[in-house]
Chains A and B, each alone.
Chain A
Amino acid sequence: MKLEVKNLEKKFKNFTAVKNINFHIDSGQTLGVLGPNGCGKTTTIGMLLGLIKPSNGKILIDDENFENLNREKILSQFNFASPYVELPKKLTVKENLEIYGRLYGVKDLTRRIKEVSNDLNLSIFLNKKTGELSSGQKNRVSLAKSLINNPKILFLDEPTASLDPDIGDFVRNYIEDYKSKNKVSILLASHNMKEVERLCDQVIMMKEGEIVDRGTCQSLIDKHGRNNLEDTFLKLARNKNELE
């Protein structure tokens, strides 16, 4: 599934959170969205998920305008995971997966829950309350929820934030493996530059609601004469004028 954004803009009263941005994610590709806090990443993801109505511009799914498509049909092919959005803590992992499986209209749900929990090493926690899990375990449950419907487009907002290096590596490996086996398009917002270098085919850098640069990780590093993506990010985040 291909996602394309054309002249997307969001204004809140006197403040423009996202300014006329354009990008696309081809089927099976991963796009990294980088930028300092408050640069418009969350607003952009919110618009793509249908939570925020854009002020201007278009979101195209396989060349069709999102607004003209059946909202439920499109959303059943999307999913989202973020450590800042949680699942009901008093419910067990299995109950949460069952509920979201039903909401996403997953067929053969019992098999899918078993599959996704095996893949993410969650089987032993299935009957444990989600609130009793460690942050690493909760993070994997959130990822399991985001994969319950085998999404065609996956939105990941800092999927490894606050995870120890071992679990962070497990999650990255899993995403890499999942991507290689399924033709899923991924939009990844992250502050972890190593993660972005490893997972993303293309990157856009945002600042103050605008896309200030884009390309592959290596092309951006080369273009800005830095040694790694982190230094490139710092240069772009701190000095926009250098780009102009």
Chain B
Amino acid sequence: MNWNKVYGLSLRHFYLIKSSFPRILDLIYWPSIQIFLWGFISKFFTLSSSYYNNTVGVILSAAILYDFLFRSSISYNMMFLEEIWSRNFTNLFISPIKIKEIIAALTLTAIVRTLIGMVPAALLAIPLFGVSIFKIGLPLISLLLSLYIFGITLGLLVTSGLIRFGPSFENIAWASLFFLAPLGCIYYPIEILPEWLQLIAKILPLVHIFEEMRNILINDIISYTQIFLAITISIFYFMLGVAVFYISYAGAKIRGTLINVGE
């Protein structure tokens, strides 16, 4: 791994963010809107639901964590799409950069983009709704790590599709997370799902992450097994995502699609 090249490619995205105030505003705007929206819904539920009545902010905390996942994945996709939109794709892939260096650069840069949006939104929730995700305590770091790894994995799978099918796969990039959201049990316990769907949901890390978040906030209990499971499953999918990316890249070289991407 040549970290100078990783830094070089990361710079391309930092310069892009730095050069445009509307771009920074866009990164902050959507997570903040989510906080407002879910803040009011959360407030309504805490007043009206027997499940949530003793625990202020469970829904809002779930919304913040889900948005963290969403932003990490979208950030990853966006950076790849930027190369296609700017017709820079060929220049990038003929440069002496390894695929693992491209993945590393996108992974590291995605966290910066995600934090630019999420930190102000999470802080905003404290004075506005009296909800702080930091109440989760130290396990929050593990939950965020697991969400981040899974978000990046979804990004990797979408970028693999972009390499394989070209820009026409762009719509899938936006839809990918909404597809998994119902199975993630973000706002409701897993028992709500039919039994057969529960089996599918359990092989995703999201259920374990959000169940654990509720466990901490509602029952004040930390299950390290659940946290370990969430991280392990996320890492497994990440490795799968990396393999799919390599396979798509090799396939694109055979089909000759790398040279036409962006045209």
Is A bound to B?
Answer: yes
Say whether B12 faces chain A, with CB atoms less than 8 Å apart.
yes
- On chain A, the number of residues with a Cβ less than 8 Å from chain B's Cβ atoms is 41
Which candidate, B15-23, B40-48, B119-127, B224-232, is the interface stretch facing chain A? B15-23
Task: Place the interface of chain B in its size category.
Answer: 20 to 34
| A:7-24 near B, CB below 8 Å | 10, 12, 17
Contact residues in A for B89 (Cβ distance below 8 Å): 85
Residues B19 and A91 in contact, CB atoms below 8 Å apart: yes
Q: Is the CB of B11 within 8 A of A102?
A: yes
The proximity string for B residues 1-12 relative to A, scoring 1 for CB distances below 8 Å and 0 otherwise, is: 010110111011
Number of A-B contacts defined by CB within 8 Å: 108
Known: A51-B253, A99-B11, A102-B11. A88 touches B98 (CB 8 A): no
Chain A contacts of B263 at CB under 8 A? 84
A199 to B56, CA, bound (A): 74
Tell whether, in the assembled complex, residue B96 and residue A71 are in contact, meaning their CB atoms are under 8 Å apart: yes
Decide yes or no whether B93 CB sits under 8 A from chain A: yes
Q: Considering the chains assembled together, what is the distance between the CA atoms of A87 and B91 in angstroms?
A: 8
B5, B19, B82, B259: the one contacting A103 at CB < 8 Å is B5
B259 adjacent to A52 (CB under 8 Å): yes
Contacts of A105 in B (CB 8 A): 2, 4-5, 96
B221 to chain A: closest CB distance in Å?
A: 48
Q: Does B97 lie within 8 Å of A72, measured CB to CB?
A: yes
Q: Determine, out of A41-49, A58-66, A115-123, A229-237, the stretch whose residues face the partner at the interface.
A: A41-49
| A137 interface residue (CB < 8 Å to B) | no
In the complex, what residues of B have CB within 8 A of residue A95's CB? Answer: 11-12, 15
Q: Which of B56-90 contact A (CB under 8 A)?
A: 82, 86-90
Complex formed: what's the CA distance from A12 to B255 in Å? 7
Residues of chain A within 8 A of B92, CB atoms compared: 103
Stretch at the interface among A75-83, A158-166, A177-185, A215-223: A75-83
Residues on B with beta carbons closer than 8 Å to the beta carbon of A17? 256
In the complex formed, the residue of A with least CB distance to B8 is A102
Residues on B with C-beta less than 8 A from A99 are: 8-9, 11-12, 15
Contact assessment for A90 and B19 in the assembled complex, using a CB-CB cutoff below 8 Å: yes
Which of chain B's residues has its CB closest to A85's CB?
A: B90
Would you call A2 an interface residue if the criterion is a C-beta within 8 Å of the partner chain's C-beta atoms?
Answer: no
What is the CB-to-nearest-CB distance from A197 to chain B, in angstroms, rounded to a whole number?
A: 28
Asked whether, in the complex, the Cβ of B93 is within 8 Å of the Cβ of A51, the reply is yes
What is the CA–CA distance of A42 and B259 in the complex, to the nearest angstrom? 8
Q: Do A75 and B94 contact each other (CB < 8 Å), given the known contacts A88-B86, A102-B7? A: yes
**Interface pairs (16), CB distance under 8 Å:** A51-B94, A52-B258, A71-B96, A76-B96, A78-B94, A80-B94, A85-B90, A86-B88, A87-B86, A87-B91, A90-B19, A91-B12, A95-B15, A100-B91, A100-B95, A103-B5
Beyond the given A86-B88, A102-B4, please list 13 additional residue pairs across the A-B interface where CB-CB is below 8 A: A51-B93, A51-B259, A52-B258, A75-B96, A79-B94, A80-B94, A84-B263, A88-B12, A98-B8, A102-B9, A103-B95, A104-B96, A145-B91
Return the 5 tightest CB-CB contacts between A and B, nearest first: A102-B8, A75-B96, A76-B96, A72-B96, A103-B95
